[in-house]
Amino acid sequence: MTQKLQTDRDAIDSIDQQIVALISQRIASARQIGSTKGKHTDLAIRDPKREREVYDRWARIAEQNGLSGYYVGRVLREILSYSRRVQEGYLDQDASGNGHPVTRVGYQGTVNSYSFLAAKKLFSHREKTALEPNSFRTFRAAIDALVAGELEYALLPIENTIAGSLNETYELLKEHDLAIVDEEIWPVEHCLAGLPGSNLNEIFTIRSHPVALQQCQTFLARATWASTEAFYDTAAAAESLMAEGNKAVAAICSEECAHALGLDVLQRGVADQPHNQTRFVLIGRDPEPIDQRLSCKTSLRLALNHREGALAEILQSFAARKLNLTKLESRPKPESPWEYEFYVDLVGHQDDPAVAEAIADARAHTNYLRILGTYPRRGLELDQIPSTAPVHTANGNGDSPESNVPMTAAVSTRERKLPDRTTVQLGSVEFGGSRFVVIAGPCAVENRRQMLDTAQIVRDAGARVMRGGAYKPRTSHDSFQGLGWQGVELLVEAGRAYEVPVVTEVLRTEDVDRVAAVADAIQVGARNMQNYALLRTLGTIDRPIILKRGLSATIDELLKAAAYITAGGNNRVILCERGIRTFETATRSTLDVSSVPVLRHRTGLPVIVDPSHAAGERHLVEPLALAAAAVGADGLLVEVHANPEEALCDGPQAMTADDLKSLMAKLEPIVATHGRTL
């Protein structure tokens, strides 16, 4: 190691100490604010306007110093998350720590298991108590210790975004008179770990918890040279490597666990799905008070009267009071074959009048109803910084837009009463709601550097979704046809790096399932609008579909094409106007902006506009885009390229980074006239 390298590293270490010290000072100030809020119950917990101002200021300062506002913003989001949790301890003097200077918490697994890491995260903000983690081999052993008074709490996983509900936790809640007092969301990021010096190609056995092995089936299927071995815990599987000393054995565990044990990370990201999260519940013997100003969740267990319509009447009790159910799950009653009980999670505090009234109303339709607990609603800390603009309601009367209207009615071409507006969720982004959404990206995926640069351009400009063509239907067979599956992988990699959902086009039914497994949405290009075999296949998948209008298609034909998709059961369709072929030659196509209000009148589906393909020239894209926003489109699909002159496809119509920023700035006042924000 050169002296210069060591000097630079010493400088970084010194700067790191200063950063941590400044974060400590910031959290100390947050504690003071929390103390003030705890004494004044009329003060709101979150101040969205203040958060937005801080976020904008950080981004501005970052860019002035030549840094990415996006990555600096990610740091801020984590700091704000920590600050909010620290402040919770001041809101109710009895809610944090339950009066114990040392809190004994039981969990399943060993040190450095996901449960252990989640417990440390959850109790990091409970500053009135010190965490004493207690390891148990099974869920039941942890609950038995809690019931016996040997623990204050037990932290158990209750559901996973891939594997679903963990039935044993529900059974234990049923068996004992216990209460859910908190929850934690932990991002599960599986890696393959081995002994120092081990080689992936020389691994013959891979061991882990059965659920972890299930979540990594794609990776394991490719590792044909290795067999799998079930273990009772991911961290215990990793620990066993150290005990055995066999370099031919590896474990699937967390990267934190691998580093703590001194193992080498042989491969990251081995899970089938990139978004893998586990929800844990903190279980206590008694309910705990919680400040009603916090975003809360209430869990119920109920058994229905065994008669027709009982469940519908209960759900109506919540719907009538506009309460959001985040989970509704039925479970069999072993003692009564073919009868079921239900577990319900809803947003709200049990003492809130609307929630209390709904529960009281629901009791009349049940044989049994028990409140399992009201507790803080986690997983919100890493949301995007909230907008301060007024919320747009699509039906214009101040009520929330209906999001589950029947799509067969929404795409009908017969004249009838104005259809209700609906929304389509694309990753973390909602189309047709309170935000005007911009999708941006290159016409074609060309290489890894291009996609990472473009992803940063898209994110920094404020666009919410990235597009990129991997399979390109070109008029000339000599033109660049795209990178195919390699292009899909590069697009997805860039989207994950910058946390933006991605959309790409498919041309053949054979590619649908493979692309849908990794992309957040699938685009149907203008040339395929009437590819009915493809449309039918897209109707069977659970992914949003952006359906472009054909080059010579009427509005009626576009709606009929959408009906092919919705008839298959996929109701998440976004219509896209991209210009039609006319006798005019001044532009590539003629953008039919009148189609936007017509479609919004005849269907509840979101409608976006692609001005890039209509324009064909860069200087025309912005005015056409602004016109689309003015007539009420729900969003835009525009092409952007870091170096348009070097683009392999449609470079003349691709916007630059500066062009995109200019467009976003000019869109803001226009979309505001429709009650929306960017």
Catalytic machinery residues: 278, 280
Closest CA to 526 of 445, 432, 589, 607: 589
Alpha carbon 255 to chain centroid, angstroms: 21
Alpha carbon 604 to chain centroid, angstroms: 24
The vertex-540 CA angle with 437 and 514, nearest 5°, equals 75
* Dist. CA 561–CA 581, nearest whole Å: 18
The vertex-562 CA angle with 557 and 563, nearest 5°, equals 95
With a CB cutoff of 8 Å and minimum separation 6, the contacts of 229 are 205, 206, 207
With a CB cutoff of 8 Å and minimum separation 6, the contacts of 643 are none
| DSSP count for the chain of H helices, then E strands | 22, 25
Dihedral over Cα of 418, 420, 425, 431: its sign? positive
Alpha carbon 238 to chain centroid, angstroms: 29
* Dist. CA 290–CA 375, nearest whole Å: 7
Residue 475 exposure: Cα atoms within 13 Å on the Cβ side: 4
Got the DSSP string for 72-127? HHHHHHHHHHHHHHHHHTTT-TTTSGGG-SEEEEEEES-TTSHHHHHHHHHHTS-T
Residue 626 exposure: Cα atoms within 13 Å on the Cβ side: 15
Closest CA to 470 of 404, 523, 417, 392: 523
Distances (CA, A) of 492 to 26, 489, 510: 36, 5, 19
Whether residue 501 contacts residue 495, with contact meaning beta carbons closer than 8 Å, is answered with yes
Helix (H) or strand (E) holding 358: helix 353-363
Residue 197's Cβ-count burial label (10 Å; 0-12, 13-18, 19+) is: exposed
Strand blocks (E) in 144-226: 153-160, 164-165, 179-187, 190-194, 205-208
Q: Tokens representing 483?
A: 């990178």
The vertex-571 CA angle with 556 and 667, nearest 5°, equals 75
